[in-house]
Amino acid sequence: MIPHTLSRHGRFARLTSILIMALVIAAGAATAQTQRPLPRGARPAGRGDQSGPADVQRLFDAYIVIRAQEALKLDDDQFAQFLPKLTALQQTRRRSEQAHNQLVAELGRLTGPNAQFDEAQVRDRLKDLQDLGGRAAAELRKAYDAIDLVLDVKRQARFRVFEVQMERRKLELVQQARRADAARPKEPAAPIKKTRKPLPE
């Protein structure tokens, strides 16, 4: 029992270190992108970025999975029933957040200072956002119902508390990563090379 506990704590420590490193890299990339203009023809970091927000969230979801078994005091058989329900909840929440962010970004583009305002399009996106909120709430309620089916009442309550604790832990890790990024020595920006025109012969 003791070796199993030590192994579990070792996984916590390793995954926490990986999370902090990913957050530091993501914070550093975001800072560099805001401080330096992109070269002509270059694209901002996107899905190919190994430490993008989606990848960090997936790492944190894995961290939650590892912590959940201990927090809810589930044996291996109980955890085997609980795990797919938790994964489904995480995927549902992630899909909803991504769709919400896309719609908000579209609203920002449609109402930006240089945009030609189109009231019909903005109304459509606002309606889409409202509809998404209703669908997301129903899907999350269904995912929570599925989790509650495999937990007793005490564990159902503990799971709600656990989620709040994990959200606080995520904020702590983000702050820790920002402090670590601020403490890292920054590379000086490369000087802009000026090309000399050839002298006329």
Confidence (pLDDT) at 103: 96
Confidence (pLDDT) at 7: 54
Q: What are phi and psi of 117, to 5 degrees?
A: -65, 125
User: What predicted TM-score, i.e. pTM, was given to this entire model?
Assistant: 0.68
Confidence (pLDDT) at 62: 87
Neighbours of 135 (CB within 10 A): 12
Please report, in tens digits, the pLDDT of each residue of the chain (201 residues total): 434 444 555 555 565 555 555 555 555 554 444 444 444 444 444 444 444 666 777 888 888 998 999 999 999 999 999 999 999 999 999 999 999 999 999 999 999 999 899 999 999 999 999 999 999 999 999 999 999 999 999 999 999 999 999 999 888 877 877 777 777 676 665 555 555 656 555
Confidence (pLDDT) at 173: 79
Of 131, 130, 123, give the one whose Cα is nearest residue 107.
Answer: 123
**Mind giving me the DSSP string for the chain?**
-HHHHHHHHHHHHHHHHHHHHHHHHHHHHHHHHHHSPPPTT-----TT-TTSHHHHHHHHHHHHHHHHHHHHT--HHHHHHHHHHHHHHHHHHHHHHHHHHHHHHHHHHHTSTTS---HHHHHHHHHHHHHHHHHHHHHHHHHHHHHHHTS-HHHHHHHHHHHHHHHHHHHHHHHHHHHHHHHSPPPPPPPPPPPPPPPP-
Helix axes 2-35, 53-72, angle to 10 degrees: 160
Confidence (pLDDT) at 45: 44
Domain ranges for the chain, please list them. 51-170
